[in-house]
Every structure is written in structure tokens, then in C-alpha cells.
Chains A and B, each alone.
Chain A
């Protein structure tokens, strides 16, 4: 299993500003995923981040709005740029399981963002 921590756990931000969310994993992983989860809604994948290459963004998400860094195999950051109230959500990072258990995903506790 993997233990994932995220910082900050929550934040209240003003519109037009940016917030960087950090994700730290206790083991080396190839792929890290960033999700958004709005109340009563599913997990929506924002992007997949591989170490040493640019992140791959899902439809509807762009690098200018959600830049991602992946400097090593245990760490990643997601920035929510030029925020608006519509960006208020929970942001979760996730990693895949190892070896034959790679169907499984492990999730961090999430970052609860409120944009005013």
C-alpha cells in the first residue's frame, strides 16, 4: 500500500489568486493522478503526472489553468491558477498500486478549496 499526504488540507482563497497543492507519497511511484471532486459528484480526473515528462491532461482541463510539477518519484504539485468560485472543490492526488495490484488506486486525504 501507499501512504499519501497532501498540503494544505483546506484553504479559502480569493478569486484571481493561485493555490499550489502538494502531494507526498511514502514510496516511489511511476504515475500520479490529480482529481477534482465536487460535492455529490464523482471523481473527475484532471491529469496524469509521470516523472520526467509533461503531465497528460483530460478533456476540459488545460496546463495554463492547472500546471503540474513532478520533480521526482514521490512528489507532485498541482496549481489552481486564476481561481474563480467554480474552482471550489476537493482536490485529491492518487497513485496506482504496485505490480499485480495496479488496478488499485490509493488516495490522499484531499485538499478542500473554497474560492470567494
Chain B
């Protein structure tokens, strides 16, 4: 099994619908992240969390919300999806100081029509 698991892997949804992307990890890491990748571009940070009670906005948080349900679970919600949120979404985890190597999930390909 993968260390960082995202569900669903692919999703097509309609404009205006609410959608949740889920992420779970078995790395035991406190830090979790949601990134978005648009075609031909690098990854951009949406939200990040350093523990269950700590949630922070990244550079492109507008239109998104998150929930850290447990140390191992971090979900991303699009309250009212719009077509320009069509992208590849990644969840990631990283360790604490000394070894902060990041590990990524397989990605969720989201299409908003």
C-alpha cells in the first residue's frame, strides 16, 4: 500500500457542485499539504497543516477549504466547483526538522465541466 493515499484518483464534476478530495497517510508525519498542478506548470500550495489544530493558507487558497480530521487524514473541499479548478491535485506529508523529506500521493485528476 502507498504511504500517502488519495481518493478519488479521477473525478468529473459539474460547475457549482461541492466536492471533497481525501488524503490519508501511514508515514506518521505531523505535516500535511495540498497542492495543485496545472498543465505545464509546477505545483502550487493550497493549504498546509502542521498538526490537527493547525491549518494555514497557502498561495492559492481562495475557493478551497480543508479539514484535518486526524493526524493521518487531511481533506480538501471545493465548496462550489468552477471550471478553472480543473487540475491535478496532490496531497503530501513531511517529517520534522532533521529530515523533512516530502512524500506525495498519487494525485487526483479533477475535471469541472
Q: Real complex partners, A and B?
A: no
Give chain B's interface residues, CB within 8 Å of chain A.
none
Give chain A's interface residues, CB within 8 Å of chain B.
none
